[in-house]
Structure 1
Amino acid sequence: MAKYQSRLDKRSKRNTNKILNIMIAVVLLLIVVVGGTIVFGGGDEKATTDAPKNSETKDATSDKSAKEDKDSDKSVSMEENSDSEDKADEENDKEDEQKQDESSDDSKENVALDGEDDSKMQVEESDEPNVAKTMVHPDWKPIGTEQTGEHVSSYDQGTVDWQEKITAVSYATGIQESNMTVWWVEGNGGPQKSMATVTAKDTKTPYRVYLQWVDGKGWQPTKVQELKENDKAS
């Protein structure tokens, strides 16, 4: 009986050792599996985690590139606008210069006696009762005109033709219009002939100016009389 019991104990001990060895092997296997899962799973997690970063980097690079392109487009657009404005300014300057030149040319055509030689003025004493002397300048020219088409002489104050008559009178006498009193403007024996009686405000000297219309060129003085008395004042 004792011998049989000893044999059972040995068998039981072997079984126990066998179970322990199996358990140890299972534990080791679990350790290996868990460890491998952690190692390989962590790598995948890291790779997965890094992927958005790469994507974010690509997006940031793309956004930066797009911004640079946009800034470049803005820069080009601003340069083009600047060039357009410069060209427009240059064209405006040229137009202004042309207008000034044209205005200067017109003023040359409409100059008063200022640019002419006074020594050429032909002065004669007169036998007429109210005429002190008669003056004629060989270089008197038409003063220019804004009128077009068939000319009709006007004696209505404020009309273009009337104003051009006064300008011609100022040209012939040398009296500035601001210093001139116009007493009378009338016809002189024809539709294209006129005469005006004026005085200078500062000297009160009366003059009668004879005018002749030149087609396309305006009124031209032909003769100036210095009067003894203003016969249009009464």
Structure 2
Amino acid sequence: MAKYQSRLDKRSKKNTNKILNIMIAVVLLLIVVVGGTIVFGGGGDEKATTDAPKNSETKDAKSDKSAKEKQDSDKSVSMEENSDTEDKADEEQKENDKKKEDEQKKDETSVDNNESVALDDSKMKVEEGDGDNVEKTMVHPDWKPIGTEQSGDHVSSYETGTTDWQEKIKAVSYATGISEDNMTVWWMEGNGGPQKSMATVTAKDIKTPYRVYLQWVDGKGWQPTKVQELKENDKD
């Protein structure tokens, strides 16, 4: 009986040792698993933590680059627009300057048909007639050349419809105040030189005859020098 009891005790002790060994093995396994989780899990977090700023930095860098490119593009467009605006302003200024220059030249060298109205009649010098058919002679100190479209050497023309003829008529209208469409030209002829002319005219509604003396001014056209009011139309 005692021998049998000894065997039971040995078997019980062996079972207990086995259970302890298993528990120790389980504990060790848990330690290994937990330790591995901590080690590898922490490394992943560290990597994620380390990578996150890099990704953020890259994203910020791309954003800054895009913003800079847009800013440069906007500057380029703005510079082009400013350049176009300056070019247009220069062109407009040149055109305005040219117009002013042309108008100034026109004012200096010519007059239009209505300018005779603006002349100060009080400046007109009137003298008694110095011939049998001359009622009075008139000279205005402000008469100017009427302008010309002709260039080069001037050749006086007495052919109706030519440029020189039309400019003579314009000068006569300017001196007498008779509009061209209300004027009857009775005679146009030279007056002692290739650059001098005189015309005998009347208004269609008023039959008072006038003889107008003209002098050619190079580059500026025909200029009235004297107007005679005649007693009668000697070219009728």
Q: Report the CA distance between 1:72 and its aligned residue.
A: 2.7
Q: Secondary structure at the match of 1:222?
A: strand
Q: Secondary structure at the match of 2:123?
A: helix
Q: 1:124 aligns with which of 128, 132, 135?
A: 128
1:88 aligns with 2:83: no
- Residue of structure 2 in register with 1:213 after alignment: 216
Percent of aligned pairs with the same amino acid: 42
Q: Report the CA distance between 1:30 and its aligned residue.
A: 1.7
Which amino acid is 2:123 matched to?
S
- Residue of structure 2 in register with 1:107 after alignment: 107
Q: 2:190 aligns with which of 188, 192, 209?
A: 188
Q: Report the CA distance between 1:123 and its aligned residue.
A: 3.3
Structure 2 CA distance for partners of 1:204 and 1:41, relative to 1, 3 Å? farther
1:149 aligns with 2:149: no
CA distance in 2, matches of 1:172, 1:53: 97
Q: Secondary structure at the match of 1:152?
A: coil
Q: Report the CA distance between 1:17 and its aligned residue.
A: 1.6
CA distance in 2, matches of 1:211, 1:123: 18
Which amino acid is 1:65 matched to?
D
Q: Report the CA distance between 1:65 and its aligned residue.
A: 1.2
Gaps of 5+ in 1: none
- Note the alpha carbon deviations across 1:178-218, whole angstroms, 9 max, x for none: x6435357332554333344445675655332222233332
Q: Report the CA distance between 1:29 and its aligned residue.
A: 1.5
- Residue of structure 1 in register with 2:57 after alignment: 58
Gaps of 5+ in 2: none
Which amino acid is 1:107 matched to?
D
Q: Normalized against structure 2, the TM-score is what?
A: 0.74
Structure 2 CA distance for partners of 1:47 and 1:161, relative to 1, 3 Å? farther
Q: Secondary structure at the match of 2:152?
A: coil
Which amino acid is 1:174 matched to?
G
Q: Report the CA distance between 1:157 and its aligned residue.
A: 5.7
- Residue of structure 2 in register with 1:5 after alignment: 4
Q: Secondary structure at the match of 1:24?
A: helix
Which amino acid is 2:6 matched to?
R
Which amino acid is 1:167 matched to?
K
State how many pairs are aligned: 230
Structure 2 CA distance for partners of 1:140 and 1:101, relative to 1, 3 Å? same
Structure 2 CA distance for partners of 1:151 and 1:105, relative to 1, 3 Å? closer
Structure 2 CA distance for partners of 1:160 and 1:76, relative to 1, 3 Å? farther
Structure 2 CA distance for partners of 1:34 and 1:155, relative to 1, 3 Å? farther
Q: Report if the CA contact (8 A) 1:155-1:185 is conserved.
A: no
Q: 2:165 aligns with which of 162, 165, 168?
A: 162
